[in-house]
Structure 1
Amino acid sequence: MNFDNKNQKDEKMVLQPFHHFNYLRDANHFMTKIWMAYNHWFQVPKDKFKEISTLGIKLEAAIVVMDDLVDNSVLRARIPTSHLVYGRSRTIYSTIFGTISALTKFDDPKVMDVFIAMGAKLCHGQAVEMYFAKNGICPTEDEYQKIVFNKTTSVLSLSLTVQQIFATRLKGVNFEPFQERIGLFFQICNDYISLGSRKYAELKVFGDDITEGVFTFPMIHGIRARPEDHRLMDILKQRTSDYEVKVRFVKLLEEFGSLDYTLRSLKKLKSECVEEMKKIAVNPEVEKILDDALNYMEDVVM
């Protein structure tokens, strides 16, 4: 199935909010790198791999735009968010149209099945995360992992699973244990950078999760490590945008050992990812991405 694009001018106008973040198409973008690394395993033919990458980029763009809208974010990579430029309603319809348009480029029903399964998991994970945030309930680490397995792992696994459909190698191999570990690894990396990045702190645009009241991995450790100390929860309840208060929040996490604990957990997860890869087949490209991410984490904290 394909859309009949009789009016390309109209379509270009409709898709403006959806295409707001063209930086996602950058070859240096993380998701592009991980998809290329996965293809070391699958050896998908070039033309088909290009189609899969384009689909993945568009679906990730949809997730980014909708995340910003739901969170009412002001900036994304120092760029004003789509809904602030084009308005909320137009952004919603543009994103829905862009997603459907991207999916209809594939005639294989298996791709649609993968997308529906991924979309259901993503929405489930996002909804549970929002439940905890809106009600001010700190999840356990196990509950956090379940959220991540749905929210983040489903996005990372989309390209891998679609690539496997068109693979010339490793077609019937079970990647689920690996996907769970690598999804958790990269979500915790994101949590760590959001709170501890020197670069973000210097720009005074760090700690969006504090403003949104979202419970991230370091926060969960800090809150549960000191249940008698309510300062972290008190700051989160305020949904503050104040730079100095956010800095104080991060200093408390540092004092409670939460940032060190997060870094140790990342190192352990990296080792688990490598062990899972050994059960499948060696992939030096994925291992390099993990090493680069971990090296960056070790040098990122304020």
Structure 2
Amino acid sequence: MQTLKVPRVNASTLTFTANEMCLANILPTASTLSPAPGDEAALLKPFTYTTARPGKGVRKRLLTALNLWMKVPQADMECIAKVVSMLHDASLMLDDIEDGSQLRRGQPAAHTIYGVPHTVNAATYIHTLVYQKLSELKFTRGEYRDLVTIVTDELVCLHHGQSSDILWRDSFRCPSEAEYVVMVKNKTGGLFENGRETYDGLFNHRPGHSPVSRNYVLLADLIGIHFQIRDDYMNLQSLEYTSSKGFAEDLDEGKFSFPIIHAVHVDTSNRLILDTLKDRPVPPALKRQIINYLKYDTKSFDYTRSILEALEAKITHEVAILGGNTELSGIIKDLHVGTAI
């Protein structure tokens, strides 16, 4: 019987050839595939869970009110409102992780259900999808480039603002009220400013659209500051906030909210608040003690309400200067302290 002679093959050459054969089988198939719809839905589950229980829609109402002045086409306005909503909900998901929040809108926060890695990935993925959404606007290449710059700049501001909030908390350094306002202008004001900037920067010079020469920056800043200070106040005072976010949740987060900042600076010799913020979570009995301290000793709630009233008066004045806006005036009235949102 004739013996079959098999040529000797170098082991490394054999391995390389086998890998080549495997790649030859899978690459043509892989190149024709795209992510399955189920994969996309699974990726976005933390986001869809968060958006399934929407907030009060104040930001969308504000954009609609601004459009009474700007007169942006309805389809474009809805796209901008969707982008602002996407960025807002994604930021809430990240905020809840960074703050250790357990509740969001009366339900367990997304990361407590889906885990931190999945939730972070979904939130950052939404940031990329925003730019795809913006491409639905019928802009020239130059206009789209300007739009991308506007949105990116506002995202930079938002993250800078959030960073300040986190650094103050983790270093136990109570900021001044002026530092707090700068943080809010970056963090909370950014989402209001994003829509305002988009309107003002892109639509005012388009053919057939009347240019708007007014400056809305101050108004957007005032609304953002009012909104955040009000949120800080309601977190410590509102039964509605207790049901949706937990009792005085800001104390559990160690957050230097506006009433807390005032109280710390009113009496620097009293360490009650600073020592409590270092030991989180805060027991309910101690929370009630701090709230009573803010109410009766430092009068921080009275002071916060006075600031909110002053901001409301300033916003009303700016609205009048800009020609009046019944929708915007109605929103500010609804946000008056003591009125649930």
TM-score, normalised to structure 1, is 0.91
Equivalent position to 2:131, from 94, 100, 103: 103
How far residue 84 of structure 1 moved from its aligned partner, in angstroms, is 1.3
What is residue 42 of structure 1 aligned with on the other side?
70
Q: String of CA shifts for 1:32-83, please: whole Å, max 9, x gaps.
A: 2222222111111111111111111111111111101111211101111111
Amino acid paired to 1:129? D
What is residue 268 of structure 1 aligned with on the other side?
310
What is residue 172 of structure 2 aligned with on the other side?
136
Task: Tell me the secondary structure at the aligned position of residue 91 of structure 1.
Answer: helix
Aligned residues: 294
The alignment yields a C-alpha RMSD, in angstroms, of: 2.1
Task: Tell me the secondary structure at the aligned position of residue 298 of structure 1.
Answer: coil
My pick for the range that moved more, 8-17 or 187-196, is: 8-17
What is residue 326 of structure 2 aligned with on the other side?
284
- What CA distance in whole angstroms lies between the structure 2 residues aligned with 1:73 and 1:204? 8
Contact 1:211 1:241 in 2 (8 A): yes
Change (3 A) 1:202 1:278: closer
Equivalent position to 1:92, from 120, 127, 136: 120
How far residue 25 of structure 1 moved from its aligned partner, in angstroms, is 5.0
Equivalent position to 1:221, from 256, 262, 287: 262
Change (3 A) 1:203 1:178: closer
What is residue 17 of structure 2 aligned with on the other side?
none
List aligned pairs for 1:189-200, cutoff 5 A.
189-200=230-241
Work out whether 1:69 is the aligned partner of 2:66: no
What is residue 150 of structure 2 aligned with on the other side?
114
Change (3 A) 1:5 1:114: farther
Task: Tell me the secondary structure at the aligned position of residue 148 of structure 2.
Answer: helix
- What CA distance in whole angstroms lies between the structure 2 residues aligned with 1:169 and 1:239? 54
Gaps of 5+ in 2: 1-32, 136-143
Work out whether 1:9 is the aligned partner of 2:38: yes
TM-score, normalised to structure 2, is 0.81
Q: What percentage of aligned pairs have identical amino acids?
A: 26
Change (3 A) 1:200 1:185: closer
Change (3 A) 1:138 1:195: same
Work out whether 1:293 is the aligned partner of 2:335: yes
Contact 1:141 1:217 in 2 (8 A): yes
Amino acid paired to 2:304? T
